[in-house]
Amino acid sequence: MNKTGSQILIEALVEQGVDTVFGYPGGQAINIYDELYKNSDRIRHVLTAHEQGAAHAADGYFRATGKVGVVIATSGPGATNLVTGIATAMLDSVPMVAITGNVPCDLIGRDSFQEIDITGVTLPITKHNYFVNDVTKLADTVREAFQIARSGRPGPVLIDIPKDVQMALCEYEVKEPLPLTVNEKADEADIQAAVELLKSCKRPYIYIGGGAIGSGVAEEIIAFADKIDAVIGCTLMGISAVPTENPRFLGMQGMHGHYASSMAQNNADLILAIGVRFSDRTTGNKKKFAVNSKIIQLDIDFAEINKNIAVDVGIYGDIGDAFKRIAEQTPAQTHPDWITFVNKLRKKEEAYDMPTDTLTPKKAVQIINSVTTPDTVIATDVGQHQMWAAQYCSFSKNRKFVSSGGLGTMGFGLGAAIGASIGSGERTVLITGDGSFGMNLNELATAVSTNVPVTVVIFNNGVLGMVRQWQTLFFDRHYSNTVLDRKTDFVKLAEAFGAKGLRADNAEEFEAAMKEAFATDGPVVIDCKIDKDEFVLPMIPPGGSMDDLIAEKGAIK
């Protein structure tokens, strides 16, 4: 049957099982929006306040559900507003399909109104992208886009569709989604090399990243850690893969990682790295990173093997398959000395921590933990609050931590929290700062109009805390442009948007506010006062190593 390009786009999305898209209409997307209007029973379109919010929402939607997020925008500024959202998805390997309208083909290249070469702009920040100038190619392009976005190491794909292609007619027939490209199986020789190293190790540390969540091997990892008496640490992207309460789990390592996790990694004699890319935030000075340790690296992306850290055994291939083969062939082991050593590190970590009744960031996160359920999604923005959330939030299920790791996108959180909540149907807590929240708070309008149960907790310290922390430590306390000193009343602001606003100046008030928020049907903003000189600790200074670790505030001069 003949259909227009816009109709074909909708049908192709339905083929892929898409039932929710995020976006914002405009002149060159109006035909697509007309079809969304006619198909509102099949696809829910969530209108955001800004295209960037829509892109982050599509991203958060995936992170919380594992389903590809879809975002639609018009040409020109609509398309460029997606850029930060697409780049965020790229750096964290999030599958997303971004669809943009463009001016008709005969106006392309003439600097027409709202014309931009968005495939050119997004070339370095997409896994792949398409400019579709022929309606007969449209359906297959959408199919391929979903296949590419989800296969292997996932990532965002953009499809740019000129308006005349949206209007052109062609034959359409329904097809099944393309199967994902089959992941290659790791070489047996590499597996054997890994097993040999594992057999002789005395201090094993299993190090997991986002790839461990994506490949669904978290349970096998826990079982294997028990089998070989290893401890487990993770990257920011690996948070929530393993339940926080697991006795072998030491939490995030790296620049602001848990003391015990970073120290254990530094003292391990074998690191089994699964789906991590050894980002500079996790390694610090690469010459001094894990010098005592052999490293086995498993990744589905061959380009990550030896990219940032030269490893002893690099295993390229399907992580699930490779990991199971390693686990089966490695004999059980016990390492009581290692476990005793790690437990001492944990004791030391606990000792750094003074119990307090004041509303410290840790206390605030603990109060959040006391109110959340295992199904609650925690989203964050970027900065100090993000690190406190990463350090102290408790998780028992995976895909519950939604945070911008690689790109470190301030302003990510609110859109992502809305997308995560819509996708998962779960109550979502956004932990943000007054700086990050200020960037994209316009999405409160979206939260209100969709009535999502998103609780926004603003760690309000009146400063750009993370940069301020660096200024304190490395720039002689020159607080250049990090003191916000704004007069924004976040409670009134929330109310102005139609949300509930609450204020908390101490722990009791915050606990009461969290409980009230969790009893509220719809978005709530809690303005939570935090001292401006709170530090995220421990800290390995940028480019430093464990030798430079700042473990407690007393050590700062």
Partner 1 sequence: MNNKFVIAVYVENKFGVLTRVTSMFTRRGFNIDALTVGETESPEYSRITLTMSGSGYAKQQMINQLRKLQNVKKVEELEPETSINRELMLIKVCNNPETRQDIMSAVSIFRCKIIDYSTEALSIEITGEPSKINAFIEIMKPFDIIEMCRTGIVALERGSGSILEKSDH
Question: Is 303 a residue that touches partner 1 (CB under 8 A)?
Answer: yes
Q: Which residues pair with 22 in a beta bridge?
A: 46, 71
Distance of CA 215 to the CA centre of its chain: 15
Which residue lies nearer to partner 1 by CB, 129 or 545?
A: 129
Of 15-23, 115-123, 235-243, 494-502: span binding partner 1 (CB under 8 A): 115-123
Contacts with partner 1: how many residues (CB under 8 A)?
A: 16
Of 61-69, 118-126, 134-142, 449-457: span binding partner 1 (CB under 8 A): 118-126
Strand (E) or helix (H) holding 526? strand 524-529
- The neighbour count for residue 47, using CB atoms within 10 Å, is 15
Q: What is the dihedral of CA 99, 211, 253, 345, to 10 degrees?
A: 150
- State which of residues 301, 312, 321, 531 lies at the interface with partner 1 (CB under 8 A): 301
In the DSSP assignment, the letter for residue 210 is H
Q: Which two tokens stand for residue 57?
A: 């929402």
- State which of residues 124, 331, 336, 554 lies at the interface with partner 1 (CB under 8 A): 124
Question: Is 128 a residue that touches partner 1 (CB under 8 A)?
Answer: yes
- State which of residues 302, 470, 479, 518 lies at the interface with partner 1 (CB under 8 A): 302
Q: Which two tokens stand for residue 309?
A: 């850290």
Annotated catalytic sites, by residue?
Answer: 51, 113-114, 163, 466
Strand (E) or helix (H) holding 539? none
**In this structure, what are the phi and psi dihedrals at residue 468, rounded to the nearest 5 degrees?**
-60, -40
Please tell me the chain's helix, strand, coil percentages from 3-state DSSP, rounded to the nearest 5: 45, 20, 40
Which residue lies nearer to partner 1 by CB, 17 or 120?
A: 120
- State which of residues 20, 65, 119, 282 lies at the interface with partner 1 (CB under 8 A): 119
Of 50-58, 270-278, 295-303, 437-445: span binding partner 1 (CB under 8 A): 295-303
Which residue lies nearer to partner 1 by CB, 227 or 307?
A: 307
Among positions 151-190, residues that touch partner 1 (CB under 8 A) are 184, 187
Of 107-115, 299-307, 419-427, 458-466: span binding partner 1 (CB under 8 A): 299-307
Of 298-306, 427-435, 443-451, 527-535: span binding partner 1 (CB under 8 A): 298-306
Question: Is 142 a residue that touches partner 1 (CB under 8 A)?
Answer: no
* H helical segments located in 4-50: 5-15, 30-38
Q: Which residues pair with 159 in a beta bridge?
A: 99, 130
Q: Kind of pairing, strands 2-4 and 44-47?
A: unpaired
CB of residue 124 to partner 1, shortest distance in Å: 4
In the DSSP assignment, the letter for residue 479 is -
Q: Kind of pairing, strands 96-102 and 156-162?
A: parallel
Are 194 and 326 spatial neighbours (Cβ–Cβ below 8 Å)? yes
Question: Is 307 a residue that touches partner 1 (CB under 8 A)?
Answer: yes
- Collapse the DSSP code of 227 into the 3-class scheme (helix H, G, I; strand E, B; otherwise coil) and give the result: helix
Which residue lies nearer to partner 1 by CB, 220 or 301?
A: 301
Which residue lies nearer to partner 1 by CB, 302 or 341?
A: 302
What is the rounded CA–CA span in Å between residue 201 and residue 210? 25
Question: Is 316 a residue that touches partner 1 (CB under 8 A)?
Answer: yes
CB of residue 132 to partner 1, shortest distance in Å: 12
Q: Which stretches of the chain bind partner 1, using CB under 8 A?
A: 119-120, 123-124, 127-128, 131, 148, 184, 187, 301-303, 306-307, 316
